[in-house]
Amino acid sequence: MVEKLNATERAALAVTLPAWKRVDGRDAITRAFRFKDFSEAWGFMARVALLAEAQDHHPEWFNVWNRVEITLSTHDAGGLSARDVRLAQAIDGLSPG
Ligand code: H2B
């Protein structure tokens, strides 16, 4: 079983992942990205997919043309875990979105 983040780790999210927001009513984080066009958005999604597969940790996401919205939560934990933080940091490392 994957452990959920503790209170200290949750407090640190505002500092380590400032672009990500907590989701109302759910133990999850989300970030919205906007690109020049669909091709840029899809290229980004392809890079995120490769990261996700390498980490065996997968995003919930939504795409319309140049917009990509990513939500991260650990289904095996029923909420946020270090796996979400690790993937979010890797995504932040990819994208000027
Ligand atoms: N992704 C997310 N977001 N949460 C999980 O708990 C999760 C996952 N579990 N990707 C992984 C796959 C698990 O189902 C496999 C079997 O390792």
The best mutation among 30, 71, 75, 85 to test binding of ligand 1, ranked by most ligand atoms within 8 Å of the C-beta, falls on 75
- Distance (Å, rounded) from C-alpha 79 to C-alpha 74? 5
- Separation of 57 CA from ligand 1 center, angstroms? 5
Task: Tell me the pLDDT tens digit for each residue of 27-55.
Answer: 999 999 999 999 999 999 999 999 999 99
- The residue among 61, 68, 69 whose CA lies nearest residue 35 is 68
pTM, whole model, 2 decimals?
0.96
Query: Distances in Å between the alpha carbon of 51 and those of 24, 60, 83, 97?
Result: 26, 14, 12, 16
Order of strands, sheet of 29-34, starting from the edge strand that comes earlier in the sequence: 21-22, 29-34, 67-72, 60-64
Q: Does position 57 have pLDDT exceeding 90, yes or no?
A: yes
Which tokens is 23 given?
């989701």
Q: Which residue has the tokens 């927001």?
A: 21
- Separation of 40 CA from ligand 1 center, angstroms? 26
